């Protein structure tokens, strides 16, 4: 961030201690919730608190509307189980509320993916959960587990550092609440902020790297409603080339519409050309937002519904998530993030106009935009081990495995990356900080920016993996408290035993 040359001293002040807890979890997405719930389950004596800067739980899944939790990532390309644990429990509970895509029921009943009746059922399982049910289930799980939650609360600084172990530790954090700044003291902190905030406060650039090149972009979904699905499928889809089309069979695609199941497609470059030819000012206005030019449309349903129109006639209407504009800018620069946030909103309105050139989308309207732009690459914490893309592609096995993952976007169409790899505990332990465990998207990976689609970070950043590592970080924190040790000294065998008890997969059984 470019600042004025001047600096100013912040006056010291006495800050009240709101709570003294055993485990403090920073960040309340599915990841932070997994960490907090897992900590309580591992050590029911432990006092666990979760702070979240938003006024809602769910992080990017809810505020960024990333409701496609990709159940393909629970099994590998051979159909073997790669992960279960709290992630699968969350999905089961969200789907049980009855408002999510019926394909989840099919998956939960053990029928795939790959879905035998859908040829491309593995590759494109971007199936939506209900956004409201995600929030509700996360809140219920925290309540049941006895986690104390503080919303509208941004952890903003380290407490005075404890250097007694030889490495600095912030035993808790200062937190800005709606009633002013408080301190929360804790024996162990789990950072699920996805900004590596704690490592950054404690060790600066020695402990959290911001890659020189932002290989992955900031981006936001938008939801567009009121799409006439019959017209779209009959006149818009066939015959056209697609990079992604799910289901790719004509009859199955229409069956999915009628059954309220997901349809997904990426393509329509010709429609974008038509929009630009008809309204050339769209191109200039889009460029003015600073967004990277888009070359295709990527559409995923979030809801499809049958509407009775009287006199025995029915219509199928759809709400689609569209991929909004992308910004390859530094994602920890507040001024640039602000520009991108406003830019994406302007660009989304332009995209709605472009999408109206699709058959069936003539009366489409903007339904919902994000409350916070989506981040893919913020800071990368420096841990005892940095996961590499070689680990992903060569199916690494580690003695200190705490969970497994497939390749997320690295694995799309790349079966080597889809087999699965171990995630070692050392990726969750900072190299030179004590009292801290790393969870969510920001675990220790190599800061490789050569090719966006091939990085370990891109393999790890899927929602499934963020839950896997956070469950392990939460359990580790709770065990550290019970055993009175720092994360680097925790007996990994004890951690693994508790993870197995919590239904985590540590090796890939067939089936």
Check binding of 455 to ligand FAD (CB under 6 A): no
Q: At what angle do helices 85-96 and 463-483 cross, to 10 degrees?
A: 120
The three-state secondary structure class of 234 is helix
| Contact yes or no for 221/367 (Cβ under 8 A) | no
Of 357, 349, 300, the closest CA to residue 325 belongs to 349
Check binding of 252 to ligand FAD (CB under 6 A): no
Check binding of 301 to ligand FAD (CB under 6 A): no
Task: Tell me whether residue 5 or residue 295 sits nearer to ligand FAD (CB atom).
Answer: 295
> Which sign does the torsion angle of CA 322, 325, 330, 335 carry?
negative
| Residue 68 CA, distance from chain mean position | 9
State how far the Cα of 340 lies from the Cα of 342, in Å rounded to an integer. Answer: 6
Using CB under 6 A, pick the residue from 354, 463, 475, 480 that binds ligand FAD: 463
Using CB under 6 A, pick the residue from 100, 193, 444, 455 that binds ligand FAD: 193
The three-state secondary structure class of 194 is coil
Using CB under 6 A, pick the residue from 40, 328, 376, 379 that binds ligand FAD: 376
Q: Per-residue x/- mask for ligand FAD, residues 378 to 417, rule CB under 6 A? A: ----------------------------------------
Check binding of 502 to ligand FAD (CB under 6 A): no
State how far the Cα of 231 lies from the Cα of 318, in Å rounded to an integer. Answer: 11
Span near ligand FAD by CB under 6 A; candidates 23-31, 76-84, 280-288, 310-318:
23-31
Q: For 146-280, where are the alpha helices, taking DSSP H only?
A: 197-203, 229-231, 250-258, 269-278
Residue 196 beta carbon to ligand FAD: minimum distance, rounded to whole angstroms:
10
Check binding of 462 to ligand FAD (CB under 6 A): yes
Span near ligand FAD by CB under 6 A; candidates 39-47, 53-61, 182-190, 500-508:
53-61
Residues 57-116 that bind ligand FAD (CB under 6 A): 59-61, 66, 68-70
Residue 382 beta carbon to ligand FAD: minimum distance, rounded to whole angstroms:
18
Task: Tell me whether residue 53 or residue 496 sits nearer to ligand FAD (CB atom).
Answer: 53
Residue 456 beta carbon to ligand FAD: minimum distance, rounded to whole angstroms:
13
What is the Cβ-side half-sphere exposure of residue 203, based on CA atoms within 13 angstroms? 23
| Contact yes or no for 472/86 (Cβ under 8 A) | no
Residue 372 beta carbon to ligand FAD: minimum distance, rounded to whole angstroms:
7
Q: Per-residue x/- mask for ligand FAD, residues 152 to 171, rule CB under 6 A? A: --xx----------------
Using CB under 6 A, pick the residue from 23, 51, 186, 401 that binds ligand FAD: 51
Taking the C-alpha atoms of 23, 431, 194 and 435 in order, what is their torsion angle to the nearest 10 degrees?
A: 10
Residue 197 beta carbon to ligand FAD: minimum distance, rounded to whole angstroms:
5
Tokens 């997405």 sit on residue: 29
Residue 256 beta carbon to ligand FAD: minimum distance, rounded to whole angstroms:
18
Taking the C-alpha atoms of 418, 66, 296 and 224 in order, what is their torsion angle to the nearest 10 degrees?
A: 150
Residue 507 beta carbon to ligand FAD: minimum distance, rounded to whole angstroms:
23
Q: Per-residue x/- mask for ligand FAD, residues 410 to 449, rule CB under 6 A? A: ------------------------------xx--------
State how far the Cα of 161 lies from the Cα of 167, in Å rounded to an integer. Answer: 9
End-to-end Cα distance, the chain = 50
Task: Tell me whether residue 89 or residue 228 sits nearer to ligand FAD (CB atom).
Answer: 89
Task: Tell me whether residue 228 or residue 328 sits nearer to ligand FAD (CB atom).
Answer: 328
The three-state secondary structure class of 394 is coil
The three-state secondary structure class of 26 is strand
Of 29, 21, 20, the closest CA to residue 151 belongs to 29
Cα-only R_g, the chain: 23
Residue 192 beta carbon to ligand FAD: minimum distance, rounded to whole angstroms:
6
Catalog residues that contact ligand FAD under the rule CB under 6 A.
Answer: 26-29, 31, 51-54, 59-61, 66, 68-70, 126, 154-155, 192-195, 197, 219-221, 374, 376, 440-441, 461-463, 466
């Amino acid at each position: 961030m470019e600042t004025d040359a001047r600096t100013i001293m912040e006056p010291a002040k006495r800050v009240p201690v709101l709570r003294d807890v055993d485990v403090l979890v920073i960040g309340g997405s599915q990841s932070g919730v997994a960490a907090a719930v897992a900590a309580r389950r591992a050590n029911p004596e432990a006092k666990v608190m979760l702070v979240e800067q938003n006024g809602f739980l769910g992080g990017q899944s809810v505020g960024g509307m990333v409701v496609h939790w990709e159940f393909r990532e629970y099994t590998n390309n051979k159909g073997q189980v790669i992960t279960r644990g709290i992630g699968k429990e969350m999905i089961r509970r969200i789907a049980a509320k009855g408002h999510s895509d019926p394909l989840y029921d099919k998956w939960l009943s053990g029928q795939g993916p790959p879905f035998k009746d859908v040829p491309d059922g593995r590759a494109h399982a971007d199936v939506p959960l209900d956004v409201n049910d995600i929030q509700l289930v996360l809140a219920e799980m925290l309540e049941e587990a006895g986690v104390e939650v503080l919303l509208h609360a941004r952890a903003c600084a380290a407490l005075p550092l404890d250097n007694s172990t030889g490495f600095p530790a912030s035993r808790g954090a200062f937190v800005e609440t709606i009633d002013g700044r408080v301190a929360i003291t804790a024996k162990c902190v789990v950072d699920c902020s996805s900004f590596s905030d704690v490592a950054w406060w404690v060790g600066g650039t020695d402990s959290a790297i911001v890659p020189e090149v932002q290989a992955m972009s900031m981006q936001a979904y938008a939801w567009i409603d009121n799409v006439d699905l019959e017209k779209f499928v009959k006149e818009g889809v066939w015959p056209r080339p697609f990079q992604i089309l799910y289901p790719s069979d004509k009859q199955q695609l229409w069956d999915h519409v009628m059954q309220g199941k997901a349809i997904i497609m990426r393509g329509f470059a010709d429609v974008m050309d038509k929009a630009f030819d008809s309204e050339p000012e769209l191109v200039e206005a889009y460029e003015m937002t600073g967004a990277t030019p888009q070359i295709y449309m990527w559409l995923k349903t979030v809801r499809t519904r049958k509407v009775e129109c009287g006199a025995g006639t029915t219509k199928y209407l759809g709400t689609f998530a569209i991929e909004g504009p992308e910004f390859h800018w530094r994602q920890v620069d507040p001024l640039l993030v602000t520009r991108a946030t406003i830019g994406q909103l302007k660009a989304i309105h332009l995209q709605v106009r472009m999408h109206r050139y699709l058959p069936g989308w003539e009366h489409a309207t903007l339904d919902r935009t994000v409350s916070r732009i989506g981040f893919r690459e913020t800071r990368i914490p420096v841990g005892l081990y940095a996961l590499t893309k070689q680990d992903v592609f060569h199916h690494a096995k580690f003695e200190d495995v705490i969970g497994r993952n497939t390749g997320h976007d690295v694995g799309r169409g790349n079966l080597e990356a889809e087999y699965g790899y171990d995630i070692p505990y050392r990726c969750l332990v900072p190299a030179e900080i004590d009292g801290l465990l790393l969870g969510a998207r920001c675990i220790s990976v190599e800061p490789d920016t050569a090719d966006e689609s091939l990085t370990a970070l891109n393999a790890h950043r899927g929602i499934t993996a963020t839950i896997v590592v956070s469950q392990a970080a939460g359990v580790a924190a709770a065990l550290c408290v019970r055993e009175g040790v720092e994360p680097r000294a925790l007996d990994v065998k004890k951690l693994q035993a508790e993870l197995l008890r919590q239904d985590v997969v540590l090796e890939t059984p067939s089936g």
